[in-house]
A and B are shown apart, each in its own frame.
Chain A
Amino acid sequence: MSAYNFAFLDEQTKRMIRRALLKAVAIPGHQVPFGSREMPLSYGWGTGGVQVTASVIGPDDVFKVIDQGADDTTNAVSIRQFFERTTGVRTTTRTDAATLIQTRHRIPETPLREGQILVLQVPIPEPLRWLEPREIETRKMHALEEYGVMHVRLYEDITRHGHVETAYDYPVLVNGRYLMRPSPIPKFDNPKLDRNPALLLFGAGREKRIYAVPPYTPVRSLDFEDHPFTVERWDRTCALCGAADAFMDEIVVDDKGGRMFVCSDTDHCERRRGR
């Protein structure tokens, strides 16, 4: 194996990212710029998450990677192997056994504990970007708590669809102060953000931003008084384990449009089946 530093990044870079993480933890939900490095995977494939993981992972960590809830997709496997090669740490598919979990687009069903770290991959960190393309302006809006416009977006959804159509990356208010994008997790997972005992870290590599939600921080999904926030419900249970309250994937099984619903979180499903 070639002589890469532990977890690929050099120590100075890790220091820089840790400083950004400390700032982020000190100001929950606030986006901290950082010197995002070139990583051996393309922008849009989790470079931010990988850099955060690389900066916090240590030899005693037990590491899990999921992509859309599954440990066995190409992306999850690639990232897990990357860290196996550059750190030699133990890896696992079990949420309750991991100390450090990197995830794309889901929060695990199994509740997290104090001491665990969840690293989320973020494409666009700025919740106001849909409305305001200028960075100087969005920074001011965050600084001055000018968040009324986010409700304009929800208003438009209700006007067009009768309800808030946003189903993932649903905007939240962190610690009553900062408006944040939780990354493209389904809104089903938003309640898990609220007062989670674990440390939640968010990395956007292409946009060069880091933010964090420290343990037990209140996180509230935006809504209207007469259109309160709700999560998805299915009228099915998982075809494999029978779970009724997990986030489902819909899988097409044949050419005739036959489909089945299974838990998106593979570890959760396996445990329920006693594996």
Chain B
Amino acid sequence: MAADVPLLRARDVSKLYGARVGCRDVGLDLWPGEVLGIVGESGSGKTTLLGCLSGRLVPTSGSVEFMLRDGTVVDVLQLSEPALRKLARTDWGVVHQNPRDGLRAGVTAGANVGERLMALGARHYGRIRAEALDWLDRVEIDRGRIDDWPETFSSGMQQRLQIARTLVTRPRLVFMDEPTGGLDVSVQARLLDLVRGLTADLGLSAIIVTHDLAVTRLLAHRLLVMRGGEVVESGLTDQVLDDPQHPYTQLLVSSVLQP
């Protein structure tokens, strides 16, 4: 585990739509095993930033570098499309807010989990199925549902299935966009717990975009606060939430309803 090279390094990332700012001059370093939260309200640029970091959007300027398993550092923005697609299937994972965006419809849960394995050349039905069952256990989905279609699952189960489908190839960096959006509070809690446990057990790095500060408190080691496309504050999660410096961060923190 190289200590000197970050897993992901972004410098001066900007995404402009003409005069409109998606995000501007964002820099960050992410190290193996760290979970970074990006918070802000709608329109803050956090989703745009996530898109730029994960190769789905091409930034107007700036650089994004990623360290591969063998230690070489690649410039994500210069990667060819085949290389980027391969990266997205192996070393990276994406958890979408709407699980339907991250699952394959019309295909059983087991096939959903096994697909990435088959895409990487797994050719033994029995072993693929065994690994799918193992992952269903890990995300707390009843094994008996392995041959059911995700359309028959509750939204919380769909989200957990999406996580299994993404993590099955042991990606080193997972991008999550509002992973608990749209879920009931109790379902959220269970999901967050699962994500927390998995990131710790698997030593994952993750970048989690959310508007929900409680999610960051639970999952993230570090936090970036965005507003109007810019990072207004950053630091350790507990420091940013307990001792916010920037007026906007203070507003955000004080606006959270305490039950």
Is there a contact between chains A and B in the complex with CB atoms less than 8 Å apart?
yes
Interfacial residues, chain A to chain B (CB-CB below 8 A)? 131, 140, 143-144, 146-149, 151-152, 155-156, 158-160, 224-227
| A residues in contact with B111, CB < 8 Å | 152, 155-156, 159
Q: Given A144-B85, A155-B114, are A226 and B120 neighbors across the interface (CB < 8 Å)?
A: no
Q: Which of B55-82 contact A (CB under 8 A)?
A: 81-82
A151 touching B85 by the CB < 8 A rule? no
Query: Out of B116, B120, B125, which one reaches A155, CB within 8 Å?
Result: B125
CB nearest neighbor in A for B116: A148
A152 touching B118 by the CB < 8 A rule? yes
A226 to B126, CA, bound (A): 7
The dominant DSSP class at the B interface is helix
| A residues in contact with B82, CB < 8 Å | 143-144
Interface centre among B81, B85, B111, B126 (most CB of A within 10 A): B111
**Does B128 sit at the interface, judged by CB under 8 A?**
yes
Query: Out of A131, A146, A147, A156, which one reaches B85, CB within 8 Å?
Result: A146
Interfacial residues, chain B to chain A (CB-CB below 8 A)? 81-82, 85, 104, 107-108, 110-111, 114-126, 128-129, 147
| B residues in contact with A156, CB < 8 Å | 107-108, 111
B108 touching A159 by the CB < 8 A rule? yes
| B residues in contact with A227, CB < 8 Å | 125
| B residues in contact with A144, CB < 8 Å | 81-82, 85
B115 touching A148 by the CB < 8 A rule? yes
16 A-B residue pairs with Cβ-Cβ distance under 8 Å, sorted by A, are: A146-B119, A148-B116, A148-B117, A148-B119, A148-B120, A152-B111, A155-B125, A155-B128, A155-B129, A156-B107, A159-B108, A159-B110, A159-B111, A159-B129, A224-B123, A227-B125
Q: Given A155-B128, A159-B147, are A149 and B123 neighbors across the interface (CB < 8 Å)?
A: no
Q: Given A144-B82, A224-B123, are A151 and B118 neighbors across the interface (CB < 8 Å)?
A: yes
B125 touching A149 by the CB < 8 A rule? no
A225 to B15, CA, bound (A): 47
Query: Out of A143, A148, A159, which one reaches B118, CB within 8 Å?
Result: A148
A160 to B205, CA, bound (A): 37
A225 touching B123 by the CB < 8 A rule? yes
Q: Given A148-B116, A155-B118, are A226 and B125 neighbors across the interface (CB < 8 Å)?
A: yes
B125 touching A158 by the CB < 8 A rule? yes
CB nearest neighbor in B for A222: B123
CB nearest neighbor in A for B85: A144
| A residues in contact with B125, CB < 8 Å | 155, 158, 224-227
| A residues in contact with B122, CB < 8 Å | 151
A148 to B122, CA, bound (A): 8
A158 to B117, CA, bound (A): 17
| A residues in contact with B110, CB < 8 Å | 155, 159
CB nearest neighbor in A for B86: A144
CB nearest neighbor in B for A156: B111
| A residues in contact with B117, CB < 8 Å | 148
* B213 CB to nearest chain A CB (Å): 38
* A128 CB to nearest chain B CB (Å): 12
A3 to B38, CA, bound (A): 74
B115 touching A152 by the CB < 8 A rule? yes
Query: Out of A152, A224, A226, which one reaches B107, CB within 8 Å?
Result: A152
A225 to B116, CA, bound (A): 17
Given contacts A155-B125, A226-B124, 8 further A-B contacts (CB under 8 A): A131-B104, A148-B117, A155-B110, A156-B108, A156-B111, A159-B129, A224-B123, A224-B124
Interface centre among A140, A152, A224, A226 (most CB of B within 10 A): A152
CB nearest neighbor in A for B115: A152
A225 touching B118 by the CB < 8 A rule? no
A160 to B129, CA, bound (A): 13
B85 touching A149 by the CB < 8 A rule? no
| A residues in contact with B81, CB < 8 Å | 140, 144
A146 to B85, CA, bound (A): 10
| A residues in contact with B104, CB < 8 Å | 131, 152
